[in-house]
């Protein structure tokens, strides 16, 4: 896969200006959603090189990550003379970087794109690593390609306007990265003060954290092996998220991952001797910052059923990434129905 660079900006306008110099003789398109258009596009347009860009706006939310939105984007590119030397700037959360990366990578067999994530979740997860795609026939990310952004430009100032829940949602993916990296990284993320966010500290943590993901992606760009480590917390987490969306209290992605991690660290403790003290420390961190799992997902069979249909599974067995300690990754693990239910008991009791 092509190399991708991530810049955690100190002077966003200057760094964007420098980056766009490369495309000054070519057409630039900015794909955004109605939220990012309002809150973040004005900052991007402070950069003189971006001012003549063509803007494509789609509605926010994962329900718009569809083939219809992709057709709208491809049509716009076609009607406005985009070619292989054009650039797409994806300005938004994970939905925009996913569909923008996909449409740019497939238009005329591929034009370059850069990602400017406007949410913490997008910066930590979707914007890096080259996974692009759209939902199709009710299945998430069913159609897509691995194709990395030319550059990911992270402006921490965009995260100042996130509400507390969206901030915590993104932070859960940072905890996951730290857990798969090392005890040092993990202890650092656990001591974060959510009540008084220090954005300078966040910037440093984010730089280290995105680098963890990048190291793994470079080693295994198409998820044949070690990239599965990034699925930690997501086997239970995705099932909780899907079930919660059928209720009055849909979970934000990161909250589902935070609760999924409680179950998967407990499974790690049971099966691989993950240290009990670390498990309890994490359980306390979740209770303090994410609260108890209040969504009505206590139907264990429904959770199990969803986990059985996870597209990460092989040979009809639920596939987990577990840990024998922070930084000690064990991919391709399985568990029995009884073990899975015991994990749910830990979460719900
Ligand atoms: N979101 C996990 C990955 O990029 O592999």
CATH number of the domain within which 175 lies: 1.20.1090.10
Q: What is the pLDDT of residue 297?
A: 59
Please check whether residues 22 and 141 belong to one and the same domain: yes
Closest-CA residue, ligand 1 atom 4, reads 129
Q: What is the pLDDT of residue 53?
A: 97
Q: Could you tell me if 59 and 36 are in contact, meaning their C-beta atoms sit under 8 angstroms apart?
A: no
Element (DSSP H or E) covering residue 31: strand 28-33
- Point out the domain boundary residue: 140, 161, 182: 161
Q: Provide the 10 A C-beta neighbour count for residue 273.
A: 12
Please check whether residues 218 and 325 belong to one and the same domain: yes
Q: What is the pTM of this model?
A: 0.94
- Point out the domain boundary residue: 106, 135, 161: 161
Please check whether residues 48 and 94 belong to one and the same domain: yes
For the CA of 216, the nearest atom of ligand 1: 5
Please check whether residues 144 and 178 belong to one and the same domain: no
Please check whether residues 80 and 180 belong to one and the same domain: no
The residue count of the chain comes to 349
Please check whether residues 247 and 328 belong to one and the same domain: yes
Q: Could you tell me if 239 and 303 are in contact, meaning their C-beta atoms sit under 8 angstroms apart?
A: yes
Tell me the DSSP string of 48-115.
GGGTTPEEEEE-SSGGG-SHHHHHHHHHHHHHTT--TT-EEEEEESHHHHHHHHHHHHHGGG--EEEE
Please check whether residues 127 and 271 belong to one and the same domain: no
Q: What is the pLDDT of residue 295?
A: 63
Domain total in the chain: 2
Residues 6+ apart with CB under 8 A from 272: 322, 323, 324, 330, 333
Q: What is the pLDDT of residue 347?
A: 87
Measured CA to CA, the distance from residue 77 to residue 82 in angstroms comes to: 5
For residue 127 the two structure tokens come to 């914007």
Q: What is the pLDDT of residue 299?
A: 84
Please check whether residues 156 and 174 belong to one and the same domain: no
Strand partners, 8: 154
Please check whether residues 150 and 184 belong to one and the same domain: no
Please check whether residues 144 and 171 belong to one and the same domain: no
For residue 294 the two structure tokens come to 């209040």
Please check whether residues 283 and 314 belong to one and the same domain: yes
For the CA of 129, the nearest atom of ligand 1: 4
Q: What is the pLDDT of residue 310?
A: 81
DSSP SS3 for 134: strand
Please check whether residues 56 and 176 belong to one and the same domain: no
pLDDT in single tens digits along all 349 residues of the chain: 677 899 999 999 999 999 999 999 999 999 999 999 999 999 999 999 999 999 999 999 999 999 999 999 999 999 999 999 999 999 999 999 999 999 999 999 999 999 999 999 999 999 999 999 999 998 889 999 999 999 999 999 999 999 999 999 999 999 999 999 999 999 999 999 999 999 999 999 999 999 999 999 999 999 999 999 999 999 999 999 988 888 888 899 999 999 999 999 999 999 999 999 999 999 999 999 999 886 665 689 999 999 998 878 877 889 999 999 999 999 999 999 999 999 999 888 7
Q: Cα torsion at 73, 78, 81, 83 (round to 10°)?
A: 90
Specify the residue for token string 């998430």.
140
Q: What is the pLDDT of residue 293?
A: 82
Q: What is the pLDDT of residue 191?
A: 92
Closest CA to 61 of 261, 253, 344, 189: 253
Q: What is the pLDDT of residue 186?
A: 95
- Point out the domain boundary residue: 161, 194, 220: 161
Report the separation in Å between the CA atom of 231 and the middle of ligand 1, taken as the mean of its atom positions: 7
Beta carbon of 129 within 6 Å of any ligand 1 atom? yes
Beta carbon of 148 within 6 Å of any ligand 1 atom? no
Report the separation in Å between the CA atom of 230 and the middle of ligand 1, taken as the mean of its atom positions: 6
Domain hosting 278: range is: 165-348
Beta carbon of 98 within 6 Å of any ligand 1 atom? no
Q: Could you tell me if 122 and 129 are in contact, meaning their C-beta atoms sit under 8 angstroms apart?
A: no
Closest-CA residue, ligand 1 atom 2, reads 230
CATH number of the domain that residue 64 is part of: 3.40.50.1970
Closest-CA residue, ligand 1 atom 5, reads 230
């Amino acid at each position: 896969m092509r190399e991708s660079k991530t810049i955690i900006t100190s002077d966003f306008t200057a760094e964007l200006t420098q980056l766009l110099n490369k495309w000054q003789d070519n057409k630039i398109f900015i794909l955004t959603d109605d939220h990012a258009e309002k809150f973040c596009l004005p900052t991007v347009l402070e950069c003189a090189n971006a001012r003549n860009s063509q803007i494509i706006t789609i509605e926010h939310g994962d329900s718009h990550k569809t083939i219809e939105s992709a057709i709208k984007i491809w049509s716009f590119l076609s009607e406005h003379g985009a070619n292989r030397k054009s650039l797409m700037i994806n300005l938004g959360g994970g939905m925009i970087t996913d569909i923008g990366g996909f449409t740019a990578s497939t238009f005329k067999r591929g034009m370059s794109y850069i990602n400017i994530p406007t949410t913490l979740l997008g910066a930590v997860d979707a914007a890096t690593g080259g996974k692009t795609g759209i939902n199709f026939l009710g299945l998430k990310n069913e159609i897509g390609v691995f194709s990395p952004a030319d550059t990911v430009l992270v402006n921490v100032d965009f995260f100042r306007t996130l509400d507390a829940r969206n901030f915590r949602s993104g932070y859960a993916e940072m905890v996951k990265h730290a857990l798969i990296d090392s005890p040092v990284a993990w202890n650092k993320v656990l001591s974060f003060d959510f009540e008084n966010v220090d954005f300078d500290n966040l910037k440093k943590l984010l730089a280290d954290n995105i680098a963890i993901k990048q190291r793994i992606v470079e080693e295994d760009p198409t998820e044949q092996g070690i990239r599965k480590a990034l699925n930690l917390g997501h086997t239970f987490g995705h099932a909780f998220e899907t079930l919660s969306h059928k209720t009055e209290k849909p979970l934000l992605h990161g909250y589902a991952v935070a609760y999924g991690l409680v179950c998967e660290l407990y499974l790690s403790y049971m099966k691989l001797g993950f240290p009990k003290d670390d498990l309890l420390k994490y359980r306390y961190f979740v209770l303090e910052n994410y609260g108890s799992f209040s969504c009505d997902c206590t139907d264990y069979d429904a959770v199990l059923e969803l986990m059985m249909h996870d597209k990460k599974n092989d040979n009809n067995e639920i596939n987990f990434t577990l840990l024998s300690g922070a930084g000690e990754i064990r991919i391709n693990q399985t568990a029995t129905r009884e073990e899975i239910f015991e994990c749910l008991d830990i979460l719900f009791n």
